[in-house]
Amino acid sequence: MVSLRVIASALGVETADVELRALCNDTRKVTTGSLFIALKGLNFDARKEIGNAIKAGAVAVIYEDTGDGFVPDMENYDVPCIGVPGLAEKQSLVASAFYGCPSAGLDLIGVTGTNGKSTITHLIATWLTALGRKTGILGTLGTGFYPNLIPCANTTLAAIDLERTISELSNDGAKAIAMEVSSHGIALKRVSELKFKIAAFTNLSRDHLDFHKTMKNYAETKFQLMKSVLPEMCVINADDSTGVEFISRIPEALTYSKQGLYGGRGIYAHDIVYYPHGINFKVSGSYGDAEFTIPLIGSFNVDNVLCAIGVLLLCGYSLKEMEKTAGVLRAVTGRMECFSNKNTPLLIVDYAHTPDGLEKALAAVKEHKFGKITCICGCGGDRDTGKRPEMAAIACGMADHVIFTNDNPRTENPDSIIEMMLAGVKDCSNYEVVKDRRSAIEVAFSKSVPGDVLLIAGKGHEDYQIIGKTKYHYSDREVAMELTGDRK
């Protein structure tokens, strides 16, 4: 149990003491002995549920004091009730105090950037575990120990769930955690109390401008993670322009590149050879030399492996140790994941949902010199609209044939989303529109032969499609397995 005064002290307030058994901000999850966090959201004011939370077993309440004059009706309740201004952004502080700052007791590795976070965190966790350091995962594909992950709603969990999950992973034997850190998670202060040991930056390209408004704001938000660790514990991509700018501000960082050694300390890949279902390359630099063969597709996966290598170097492992254990690495679910048999074209399912991500995915396919390339893609609704014509133009410019289809239209009109995409390809003729996503893949499959490639972009690991406000079961991976008979 935890003393309420421990949490009150962290918030800089005084209160009567009580022993706490649980922490929650959802009245449906209140149990006996809970501390209830009551926030005022855009669509729901949990402060109005304080009475119900106490009836359900809450023994203390901390509510958001927004200055709007709200005062809880505590006449019939005898529990501590504390008003705290800015409570939404202080949830990480409350959760860290409640769970005893669990991140301080292990090696927490944060990976941020627009693309590559999921693959890199999985590479790190798989590799570290193979080297004897049990490593958990927190990110888009779920939480836990690979491959037994529990799905989660956001790339970076809400602060209370995040601290609780880290505590649980630590109790289950994790010595390290590889964590995707989203720009939303940083900006909303979900990670403000986490004690990162290593921070890695992958790249920056257009995404989330509906939230950050400008690329400068987006980049600066990412940089906050770099500032949270010692300068020499940063790993930064020197082939990315934003990465170069970050390195200028943190010259002590370990850099990685495919162009050669950059800065005072780093690694680089060279002699890269792309095979139909894998890549071979050598790594040199400040830490010696090694050679790696990986069953992954695309030059960006060389970047991903380099980033993982940089992190493992900072964890104390040598290139030679990594070279000997690289055989454990595998494609991550829904990230350039391949499905085929000898009688079918190759189907590649990828999460690429940004212009940069789609361009890199298509470039990856072209590097491996397959036959005709068909790209099936769409754009999500209620998200950045500016990227839609850009993505369409990239698809038509790089693929032999393109089928535009629905992604997660959410509350937008699916036809309007596709029309915005088509605005970017007015001078192109190598595309068609098949709105139903399964049908789009089936049409592309029927027009392809062994040796051809279908890149199915946008949804990756997701096993649902959001139409309106309803989430329906749907999986690109399942369709790919049905068509090829390749059961992973």
Per-residue pLDDT tens digits for 268-285: 999 999 987 789 999 999
Q: Of the given ranges (181-190, 204-213, 263-272, 449-458), which has the lowest mean pLDDT?
A: 204-213
Q: What is the pLDDT of residue 157?
A: 84
Per-residue pLDDT tens digits for 164-178: 999 999 999 999 999
- Say whether pLDDT at 137 is over 80: yes
Average of pLDDT values for 100-116? 95
Any alpha helices (H) in 80-173, and if so which ranges? Answer: 91-99, 117-130, 159-171
- Say whether pLDDT at 356 is over 90: no
Q: What is the pLDDT of residue 317?
A: 98
**Spatial distance between the Cα atoms of 463 and 452, rounded to a whole number of angstroms:** 25
Q: What is the pLDDT of residue 198?
A: 98
**Spatial distance between the Cα atoms of 224 and 172, rounded to a whole number of angstroms:** 29
Per-residue pLDDT tens digits for 16-71: 999 999 999 998 999 999 999 999 988 899 999 999 999 999 999 999 999 999 98
Q: What is the pLDDT of residue 487?
A: 78
Q: What is the pLDDT of residue 206?
A: 62
Q: φ and ψ at 219, to 5 degrees?
A: -65, -45
Average of pLDDT values for 247-256? 97
- Tell which residue, 119, 29, 40, 117, has the closest CA to residue 72: 40
**pTM of the predicted protein model:** 0.83
- The kind and range of the H/E element at 225 are helix 215-227
Average of pLDDT values for 291-298? 93
Residues near 110 by beta carbon (within 8 Å), at least 6 away in sequence: 179, 181, 191, 194, 196, 198, 199, 200, 225, 228, 229
Average of pLDDT values for 198-219? 82
CB 260 within 8 A of CB 227: no
- Tell which residue, 477, 433, 473, has the closest CA to residue 454: 477
User: Residue 445 in 3-state DSSP?
Assistant: helix
Per-residue pLDDT tens digits for 154-166: 777 889 999 999 9
Q: Of the given ranges (49-53, 184-188, 300-304, 447-451), which has the lowest mean pLDDT?
A: 184-188
User: Residue 274 in 3-state DSSP?
Assistant: strand
Q: What is the pLDDT of residue 156?
A: 74
Structure tokens at 403: 């089928």
Task: Please report, rounded to a whole number, the percentage of residues in the chain having pLDDT higher than 90.
Answer: 81
Structure tokens at 378: 């769409």
* Torsion sign across C-alpha atoms 208, 211, 216, 221: negative
Band of pLDDT at residue 208, cut at 50, 70 and 90: low
Average of pLDDT values for 102-124? 95
Per-residue pLDDT tens digits for 382-440: 998 999 999 999 999 999 999 999 999 999 999 999 999 999 999 999 999 999 999 99
Per-residue pLDDT tens digits for 456-481: 999 999 999 999 999 999 999 999 99
Q: What is the pLDDT of residue 141?
A: 86
Q: What is the pLDDT of residue 140?
A: 86
* Look-up of token digits 């590649």: 348
